[in-house]
């Protein structure tokens, strides 16, 4: 487990980008998290990292082993989910959260925190939904496709939590920079990114123009 355990100040320009590897698709069906990876993003800089396998107390099937590269033998040696999630709750304290396909990671985060009697304070934004608005011409909006489409930094490893979290962080920075290039609005608020994710593609430019005007940056 990597966790600096340093207290991080609240900042509107600071987010935690996270990714879970899991035993299946839904915690409501009894599936569990088996790995968490996250980075603390301050502006365009990765300031801290958190990564750990986590033992769910159950075997994973051969498909998940092949998909993630995480074996049952690796999980037997891993700390229990409760221990990992207690550390992760401290890591994300005071920060908003970003994930690619955030509805998936949000469900598992809330379920695993709930098991230890905890809950998150920050809110989520989805880099996948925002990318659909900002990069409508991408072949698709899977994380790996977007990394190649934008020629972002990557070590070529997918479906391991920390590697995916780092790539999602690079994508988040690219989204912010591309929005700023198209519409000179200065710092892009987290709430605006959340709103973009819910805005029809045809209305994205008008939304950003309205924000630019309302924030006193232009006519």
Task: Categorize the per-residue pLDDT at 217 as very low, low, confident or very high, splitting at 50, 70 and 90.
Answer: low
DSSP 69-133: ---HHHHHTSPBHHHHHHHHHHHHTT-EEEETTHHHHHHHHHHHHHHTT----S-EEEHHHHHHH
In a domain, 8, yes or no: no
pLDDT given for residue 214 in this prediction? 80
Task: Categorize the per-residue pLDDT at 213 as very low, low, confident or very high, splitting at 50, 70 and 90.
Answer: confident
Span 35-64, average pLDDT: 96
- Per-residue pLDDT tens over the stretch 98-152: 999 999 999 999 999 999 999 999 999 999 999 999 999 999 999 999 999 999 9
Domain that includes residue 132, residue range: 14-214
In a domain, 7, yes or no: no
In a domain, 145, yes or no: yes
pLDDT tops 90 at residue 54:
yes
In a domain, 119, yes or no: yes
Structural domain total, the chain: 1
Instruction: Give the span between the Cα atoms of 165 and 171, in whole angstroms.
Output: 10
In a domain, 199, yes or no: yes
- Chain mean pLDDT for the chain: 90
For residue 67, give the CATH number of its domain: 3.30.420.10
In a domain, 4, yes or no: no
């Amino acid at each position: 487990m990597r966790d600096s355990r340093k207290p991080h100040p609240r900042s509107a320009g600071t987010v935690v980008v996270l990714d879970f590897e899991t035993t299946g698709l839904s915690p409501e069906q009894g599936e569990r998290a088996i790995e968490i990876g996250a980075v603390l993003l301050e502006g365009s800089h990765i300031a801290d990292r958190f990564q750990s396998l986590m033992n769910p107390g159950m075997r994973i099937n051969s498909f998940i082993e092949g998909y993630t590269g995480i074996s049952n033998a690796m999980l037997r040696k891993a700390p229990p989910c409760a221990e990992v999630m207690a550390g992760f709750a401290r890591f994300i304290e005071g920060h908003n959260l970003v994930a690619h396909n955030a509805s998936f990671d949000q469900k598992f985060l809330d379920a695993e925190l709930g098991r230890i009697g905890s809950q998150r304070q920050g809110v989520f934004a989805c880099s996948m939904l925002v990318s659909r608005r900002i990069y409508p011409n991408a072949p698709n909006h899977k994380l790996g496709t977007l990394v190649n489409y934008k020629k972002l930094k990557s070590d070529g490893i997918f479906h391991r939590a920390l590697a995916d979290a780092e790539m999602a962080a690079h994508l988040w920075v690219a989204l912010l920079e591309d929005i700023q290039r198209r519409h000179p609005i200065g710092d892009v608020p987290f709430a605006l990114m959340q709103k973009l994710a819910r805005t029809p593609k045809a209305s994205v430019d008008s939304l950003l123009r309205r924000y630019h005007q309302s924030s006193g940056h232009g006519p």
